[in-house]
Structure 1
Amino acid sequence: MKENNINFINKFKISLYNIKKYNDLIILRFSHAIIYSIILSLIAGSILGCINFSNISKFQKLVKTTMENEKYEFELHDGILDFKNSPIKSESGKFMILVDTNIGLEDVDTIRNIIVHKDMAMVILKDGIYTNTGGQKAEYKYSDMSLLVDKINNESLIKSLDYMWIFKYIIFIASIIGTYVSYIFNSLILSLVGLLLSKINNINLKYIDVLKLCIYSMTLPIIIRIFYPLGSLSILIAGVYLILWMNRIRREGTI
């Protein structure tokens, strides 16, 4: 296969399931690998961004529906939340809002088992908010928030939802950037391991060639990352591709 004939689709196929043709990728210029990583990140990041965008939209709808219900009447003043019907829970599929103003953030461990199986959960407590979005946990104290008004109630919260579209687009863009940063970072880490393995196996490879192979071998982890956060497992999966290729080269004795 000539260099000019290896377009993105062919590179994708080779990277995903045709390890014996990794030799065709290693002879390409490094710029090819960078362009490949950018295109794949744009595709995977955009899909992930759309999923996050949709999830936030559904969550926004749930919040609005909840706040329009009289039984969820509340008022936040001086960093303390007054919720008349606490505790109360509202669920929609994998999304949940739990309000319990009988406890504070220091007691959040007592309700973790209730929200652990939800893709997106918001726990509203007397002194702050605890969120769990796809495994990403965060805590916010009302007293630390820079509020433009002295108090917040149902009506003001519903109005603020109109500005949530800004947050959704930020998340969409962040999904693409985050995908690419994770892609390159994991490739760099794996390349150091790959360089060490090449020396151990007496395979004469330049670092730039190892890095190119690592970028291509990260294809499957990037695809899986759309639907499930792999974390450090991304390096492990890509490492399997790299080891299989090196074993093949060692047996054949040539690149």
Structure 2
Amino acid sequence: MRNKFIFSINPKKYVYLNKEKLSKAFLYVLLLSVIIGLVQGVMGAVLISGIEKTTKMILEEDEVQFEMKDGVLDFKNSPLKEEEGQALLYIDTNKDIDDLDSLRSITVHKDTVTVLLRDGFMVKSGSESVTQKYSDLGLDLINFNNDFVISIIEKLDIVKYIIIPIMIVVNFVQLLMYALFISLMGILSNLISNRKMYYNRVFNLALYSVTLPTIINLIFPIGVYSILIGGIILMFGLSFINDNYLKQTIDRE
């Protein structure tokens, strides 16, 4: 695994990878997906844990105590106004949706606005805004408060660990798709250079060529540029394989 990892990011070593079976290339990608998925999954779980902890701390504070009952919100510390740059959070459960116009002087100068009122809310982003009643979302069918939300967070704590196997599967499928598109670049390179190589060998090498873009993508998201980077590595690898073949042919003669 270590040697294949090193060889996969060095096109000159593709001469050796070309001798590997396709099944071993699939196994390599699977192991790479497990490693990357574990790293991403653990990072995600840690992030979710931090959000959970912060959310619970906020919900336990006296100034953010609330209760939603029969579709009506009661915020104990109402009204509350929080601003940060062009973002505004305004909570006033003494007012209804019908009173939104009276709050225009507060919200009109902000680009991102969230307003929570007694019977509904308004969210604005730029020139677009959405106004909705809690009852329209079915919130009149369930009653909850801070303690209820905290208990739900604690019960769902185990869900964050499911992200690890999910990330492994997602990475495996994604790497196979990248390898497929990269192999097409390899086929095109062979056609242009008039090199003869069966597609299964090109795809086999494409599976290894996803290594470097995958590592880069883990540090700095590059999206579909992964295909371009992998394709360049594969094309150089195919070129070195062809040169090595021609050299061996000349030596035999």
Which TM-score applies when normalising by structure 1? 0.71
| Aligned partner (choices 25, 30, 34) of residue 33 of structure 1 | 25
Conserved 8 A contact 1:218-1:234: yes
Aligned counterpart, 1:55: 47
- Looking at structure 1, the residues matched to 18 and 205 of structure 2 have their Cα atoms a distance apart, in angstroms, of 7
Q: Highest CA radius of gyration, 1 or 2?
A: 2
Counterpart residue number, 1:136: none
Q: Indicate which of 203, 209, 222 corresponds to 2:201.
A: 209
Counterpart for residue 110 of structure 1? 111
Aligned identity (percent) is 34
Cα distance 1:145–1:229, how it changes in 2: closer, same or farther (>3 A)? farther
Shift of 1:165: 2.1
Distance 1:57 1:81, change over 3 A: same
Q: Deviations over 1:136-174 (max 9, x none)?
A: xxxxx9668677962222111111111222320221221
Q: Number of paired residues?
A: 217
Rounded Cα–Cα distance in structure 2 between residues aligned with 1:19 and 1:224:
17
**Correspondence for 1:88:** 82
**Secondary structure of the equivalent of 1:88?**
strand
- 2:222 aligned partner: 230
Aligned-pair distance for 1:219? 0.4
Partner secondary structure for residue 230 of structure 1: coil
Q: In structure 2, do the counterparts of structure 1 residues 171 and 149 end up closer, same or farther at CA, with 3 Å as the change threshold?
A: farther
- For 1:235 and 1:78, locate their aligned partners in 2 and report how far apart those are by CA, in whole Å: 52
1:1-255 counterparts in 2 under 5 A? 8-16=1-9, 18-76=10-68, 83=75, 84-88=78-82, 99-101=89-91, 110-111=111-112, 127=121, 150-249=142-241, 254=246
TM-score (norm 2): 0.72
Q: 1:155 to 1:15 in 2, by over 3 A?
A: same
Residue 111 of structure 1 aligns with an amino acid whose one-letter code is: T
CA distance in 2, matches of 1:209, 1:143: 60
- Whether the aligned pair in 1 keeps the contact of 2:70 and 2:140 (CA below 8 Å) is no
Mapped contact 1:56–1:168 kept (Cα < 8 A): yes
Given the superposition, is the C-alpha separation of residues 232 and 143 from structure 1 closer, same or farther in structure 2, using an over 3 Å criterion? farther
- Given that 1:88 and 1:100 are in contact with CA atoms closer than 8 Å, whether structure 2 keeps it comes out as yes
Deviation at 1:74, TM superposition (A): 2.7
Work out whether residues 48 and 227 of structure 1, in 8 Å CA contact, stay in contact via their aligned partners in 2.
no
**Any idea what SS the aligned residue of 1:226 has?**
helix
Whether the aligned pair in 1 keeps the contact of 2:185 and 2:235 (CA below 8 Å) is no
- Relative to structure 1, is the Cα distance of residues 156 and 32 closer, same or farther in structure 2, using a 3 angstrom cutoff? same
List gaps (5 residues or longer) in structure 1. 1-7, 91-97, 113-122, 131-140
